[in-house]
């Protein structure tokens, strides 16, 4: 599964593109695919160091796409639009349901600095000691560590596909020295890959990370352009609280006007103004219960 690309707001890249030899190579052996995944992750690592990339927004959008992939793995019909509705239109006291819980798990895993405590918040059905034990099962270079964690969690808890993928991404992030979980593996893997073990699973993880890292770099570049445009038009927003609202748009995949720190009518006007300025998009296509995002 690959990321759906948003339409860029201009044709000029603000971040370096992934080298073509990574995206065009067709390799079958574990050694060759491991080389390509290492190169792709190294390039992504450099891109993530650019201050132009709105990191919280980037991870939140990846979390949505990882949750969507998990819906496919479990045979559920919910896709990005339904997942957004389930979480962002949730009212106090409502239950998010299985799809919403999956999306919330990914969001919680990616939003806070990487730690066993943060992962425990994202995966409340597992004890922190169990999470730490699973993470310690990963040894070796980054992708090998991630594959080992994925394998051991699925062996101990065969139905915990979402949890296994979150923890595998956590192991990968730890090995790469990243401060946060960056959801990558779920989007690149196939459902049948989750039944593989040993070298077959490692090969599947390397392949998945080549494709997902390439698409993540494209997403980062697009979000960098969109964030720059939003910051450029921000001085034109005169509503009280507009600055705080802009910061929220730079951290969340989608926002309901009611979540903004403004009165309801002012919040709706601000969202419409951002759309008019080309700094935000209405994501639902509805006349009511709208959601907006960069």
Q: Which of 84-98, 109-123, 233-247 has the highest mean pLDDT?
A: 109-123
**In angstroms, rounded to a whole number, what is the distance separating the alpha carbons of residues 294 and 292?**
7
Query: Could you read off the pLDDT of 120-165 as tens digits, one per residue?
Result: 999 999 999 999 999 999 889 999 999 999 999 999 999 999 999 9
163: number of CA atoms within 13 Å, CB side? 24
Residue 9 pLDDT level (bands cut at 50, 70, 90): very low
**In angstroms, rounded to a whole number, what is the distance separating the alpha carbons of residues 119 and 134?**
12
Query: Could you read off the pLDDT of 155-205 as tens digits, one per residue?
Result: 999 999 999 999 999 999 999 999 999 999 999 999 999 999 999 999 999
**In angstroms, rounded to a whole number, what is the distance separating the alpha carbons of residues 178 and 42?**
12
Q: Is 197 helix (H, G, I), strand (E, B) or coil?
A: coil
Structure-token pair, residue 63 = 């979390």
Which of 141, 146, 130 is CA-nearest to residue 189? 146
Residue 7 confidence (pLDDT): 40
**In angstroms, rounded to a whole number, what is the distance separating the alpha carbons of residues 183 and 213?**
10
Residue 92 pLDDT level (bands cut at 50, 70, 90): confident
Residue 16 pLDDT level (bands cut at 50, 70, 90): confident
Q: Is 282 helix (H, G, I), strand (E, B) or coil?
A: strand
Rounded percentage of the chain residues whose pLDDT exceeds 70: 95
Q: Which of 3-7, 135-139, 280-284 has the highest mean pLDDT?
A: 280-284
Q: Is 146 helix (H, G, I), strand (E, B) or coil?
A: helix
Residue 15 confidence (pLDDT): 85
pLDDT at 3 over 90: no
Residue 10 confidence (pLDDT): 41
At which residue do the structure tokens 């390509």 appear? 36
Structure-token pair, residue 90 = 């949730």
Question: What value does the mean pLDDT take over residues 81-101?
Answer: 94
Residue 13 confidence (pLDDT): 56
Residue 2 confidence (pLDDT): 37
Rounded to 5 degrees, what are φ and ψ at 230? -60, -45
Long-range contacts of 269-273 (CB under 8 A, 24+ apart): 269/239, 270/237, 270/239, 270/242, 270/245, 273/237
Which run of H or E residues covers position 154? Answer: helix 142-156
The residue that leads in pLDDT, 137 or 290, is 290
- Mean pLDDT over each residue of the chain, to the nearest integer: 93
**In angstroms, rounded to a whole number, what is the distance separating the alpha carbons of residues 21 and 214?**
12
Answer yes or no: are the C-beta atoms of 131 and 121 closer than 8 Å: no
**In angstroms, rounded to a whole number, what is the distance separating the alpha carbons of residues 257 and 147?**
40
End-to-end CA, the chain: 23
Residue 35 confidence (pLDDT): 96
pLDDT at 60 over 60: yes
Residue 1 confidence (pLDDT): 35
Query: Could you read off the pLDDT of 220-277 as tens digits, one per residue?
Result: 999 999 999 999 999 999 888 999 999 999 999 999 999 999 999 999 999 999 999 9
Rounded percentage of the chain residues whose pLDDT exceeds 90: 88
């Amino acid at each position: 599964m690959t990321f759906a690309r948003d339409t860029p707001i201009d044709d000029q890249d603000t971040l370096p593109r992934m080298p073509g030899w990574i995206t065009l190579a067709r390799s079958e052996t574990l050694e060759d695919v491991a080389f390509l995944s290492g190169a792709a992750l190294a390039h992504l690592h450099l891109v993530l160091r650019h201050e132009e990339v709105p990191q919280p927004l980037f991870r939140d959008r990846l979390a949505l796409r990882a949750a969507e992939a998990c819906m496919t793995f479990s045979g559920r019909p919910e896709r990005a639009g339904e997942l957004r509705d389930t979480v962002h239109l949730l009212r106090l006291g409502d239950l998010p349901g299985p799809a919403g819980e999956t999306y919330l798990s990914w969001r919680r895993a990616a939003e806070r600095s990487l730690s066993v405590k943060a992962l425990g918040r994202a995966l409340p059905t597992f004890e922190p000691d169990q999470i730490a034990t699973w993470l310690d099962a990963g040894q070796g270079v980054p992708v090998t560590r991630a594959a080992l964690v994925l394998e051991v969690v699925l062996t101990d808890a065969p139905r915990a596909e979402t949890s296994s993928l979150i923890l595998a991404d956590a192991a990968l992030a730890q090995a790469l020295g990243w401060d946060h979980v960056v959801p990558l593996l779920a989007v690149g893997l196939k459902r049948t890959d989750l039944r593989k073990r040993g070298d077959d699973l490692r090969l599947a993880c390397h392949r998945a990370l080549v494709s997902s890292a390439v698409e993540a770099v494209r997403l980062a570049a697009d979000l960098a352009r969109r964030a720059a445009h939003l910051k450029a038009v921000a001085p034109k927003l005169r509503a009280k609280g507009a600055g705080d609202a802009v910061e929220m748009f730079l951290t969340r995949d989608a926002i309901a006007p009611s979540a903004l720190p403004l009165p309801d009518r002012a919040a709706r006007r601000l969202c419409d103004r951002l759309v008019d300025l080309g700094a935000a998009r209405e994501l639902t296509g509805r006349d009511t219960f709208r959601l907006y995002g960069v």
